[in-house]
Amino acid sequence: MEISQPIRVMIVDDHAVVRSGLSAFLMAYDDLQLVAEARDGSEAIRLCNAHHPDVILMDLIMPNMDGTTAIKHIRDANPQVQIIALTSFFDAELVQASLKAGAIGYLLKHVSADELANAVRAAKAGQPTLTPEATQVLIQAATRPPAIGFDLTPRELEVLSCLVSGMSNPEIAQHLNISISTAKFHVSAILSKLEVQSRTEAVAVALQNNLVK
């Protein structure tokens, strides 16, 4: 009968007491093995390359290099390594940033030892584990209506900037080195996408929503 190898885990946290506590937690489970500890993101990258963990427990707020940046670097170089963001507090922006960087889980440090152990096992199997709050953030992001002006092309944004500056179609054409008919086409497309009826309304929407600098 083949004996499965323990899951190799690395801890990344700038607080020694937290690393010590997590180390003790790992020792309580036969199928989990601590292979490295890091104090910040840059050290985590170096130790990951040296020790090849299966799963990393990554704090997010750290000096020198934060956890989100380290997650992206590690996942880009070692896509087989799974990373669980393990932080002291909940923050919607941190949830989205860490998951976008490549984390497979987002947990708060007050989770129980068994919950954390199960999250490590799930991560090794490629399965996400999220706090209820983190799950809610993802649901809200998925159901939130798209931002106004999200579908404007780079050229349309240039034309919109000209509108904000008060330029006429001929002035826009000259400024962007395009024909007047092309300028009119872009202005018409902008009005349609912003769901407004006039250039004045388009300018107001652009300023209200910071669509142009």
Is 70 exceeded by the pLDDT of residue 26?
Answer: yes
Q: Are 88 and 108 in contact (CB under 8 A)?
A: yes
Q: What are residue 36's DSSP bridge partners?
A: 10
Q: Are 179 and 127 in contact (CB under 8 A)?
A: no
Is 70 exceeded by the pLDDT of residue 1?
Answer: no
* Cα 213 from Cα 92, distance rounded (Å): 26
Question: Which CATH superfamily, name and number, covers 7-143?
Answer: Response regulator (3.40.50.2300)
Q: State the pLDDT confidence band at 2, using cuts at 50, 70 and 90.
A: very low
Element (H, E) at 3: none
> So what CATH class is 154-208?
mainly alpha
Domain map of the chain by residue range? Answer: 7-143, 154-208
Note the pLDDT tens digit of each residue in 150-198: 889 989 999 999 999 999 999 999 999 999 999 999 999 999 999 999 9
Residues in the chain: 213
CA distances from 67 to 86, 87, 97, 158 (A): 9, 10, 10, 36
Element (H, E) at 180: helix 180-194
Q: Are 194 and 205 in contact (CB under 8 A)?
A: yes
Is 80 exceeded by the pLDDT of residue 210?
Answer: yes
The pLDDT mean for the chain works out to 92
Confidence (pLDDT) at 151 = 87
Q: Provide the total of helices (H) and of strands (E) in the chain, helices listed first.
A: 10, 6
* Cα 213 from Cα 209, distance rounded (Å): 11
CA angle 117, 24, 74 (to 5 degrees): 60
Domain 7-143 shares a fold with domain 154-208:
no
